[in-house]
A and B are shown apart, each in its own frame.
Chain A
Amino acid sequence: QKEVEQNSGPLSVPEGAIASLNCTYSDRVSQSFFWYRQYSGKSPELIMSIYSNGDKEDGRFTAQLNKASQYVSLLIRDSQPSDSATYLCAVNIRSNFGNEKLTFGTGTRLTIIP
């Protein structure tokens, strides 16, 4: 089982609709969860971080965390063409040596259709 799993997509959503991106992770003790947006040819840009169960909202973005189900999601409301990008789910996972590593899913490619 991969440590962080995402549906690679592509996910196509009409402009103005809600885009829903999902991620599951394997390490039950993980405490820090992140969503990065990456445009083609650019570096990852932090969109949201979440540490507690429940929802966290920032503008059009809402991150949802359920530690019991080991599930984290990102909702994008009123989707815009500029939201078209790859979204990377990332989790701080403790290695066997006690170090924490930011472990990425494979990314979901999102396309917003005008």
Chain B
Amino acid sequence: DTEVTQTPKHLVMGMTNKKSLKCEQHMGHRAMYWYKQKAKKPPELMFVYSYEKLSINESVPSRFSPECPNSSLLNLHLHALQPEDSALYLCASRLGETQYFGPGTRLLVL
């Protein structure tokens, strides 16, 4: 089983809103990732958590705030986003060398 789940599937938010994206995996994978993907572009790495510690932050603006409360759960807190932040947000977890992606959250910022 290589299932990664993400909620919500779709999210519409205003530029003053605060919202959170959630990602879960129950496969015991110890590395989890957030990616952002714009239309017709490849996924772009945002954050990496390894053993529940933030190991990579790809110079992401502070309006995106990741959190890893435990080894199964990864959150991405969103605040004061801009319309250009509208994208598909993907979570992934890693087993060995291989990353498995969740279904994504389609975010629209108005």
A residues sitting closer than 8 Å to B (CB atoms) are 31-32, 34, 36, 41-46, 49, 51, 88, 92, 99, 101-102, 104-107
Contact of A32 among B43, B97, B103 (CB under 8 A): B97
Interface residues of B in 45-88 (CB under 8 A from A): 45, 48, 55-56, 88
Interface residues of B toward A: which range? 10 to 19
Contact of B42 among A34, A92, A104 (CB under 8 A): A104
Q: Smallest distance from the beta carbon of B94 to chain A beta carbons, Å? A: 8
B residues sitting closer than 8 Å to A (CB atoms) are 2, 41-43, 45, 48, 55-56, 88, 90, 97-104, 106
Q: Smallest distance from the beta carbon of B72 to chain A beta carbons, Å? A: 19
* Nearest CB in chain B to that of A107: its residue: B42
Residue of B2, B90, B97, B104 most packed against chain A (CB within 10 A): B97
A-B contact pairs, 21 of them (CB 8 A): A31-B97, A34-B98, A36-B101, A43-B104, A44-B43, A44-B90, A44-B101, A45-B101, A46-B2, A46-B100, A46-B101, A49-B97, A88-B42, A92-B97, A101-B45, A101-B56, A102-B99, A104-B43, A106-B41, A106-B42, A107-B42
Q: Which residues of A contact B103 (CB under 8 A)?
A: 42-43
A46-B98 in contact (CB<8A) = yes
Q: Is the interface of B mostly helix, strand, loop or mixed?
A: strand
* Nearest CB in chain B to that of A97: its residue: B56
* Nearest CB in chain B to that of A34: its residue: B98
Q: Smallest distance from the beta carbon of A5 to chain B beta carbons, Å? A: 12
A32 to B97, CA, bound (A): 7
Besides the known contacts A46-B98, A46-B100, A46-B101, 16 further A-B residue pairs in the complex with CB atoms under 8 A apart: A31-B97, A32-B97, A34-B99, A42-B104, A43-B101, A43-B103, A49-B98, A92-B97, A99-B48, A99-B55, A101-B45, A102-B99, A104-B42, A104-B43, A106-B41, A107-B42
Q: Which residues of A contact B104 (CB under 8 A)?
A: 42-43
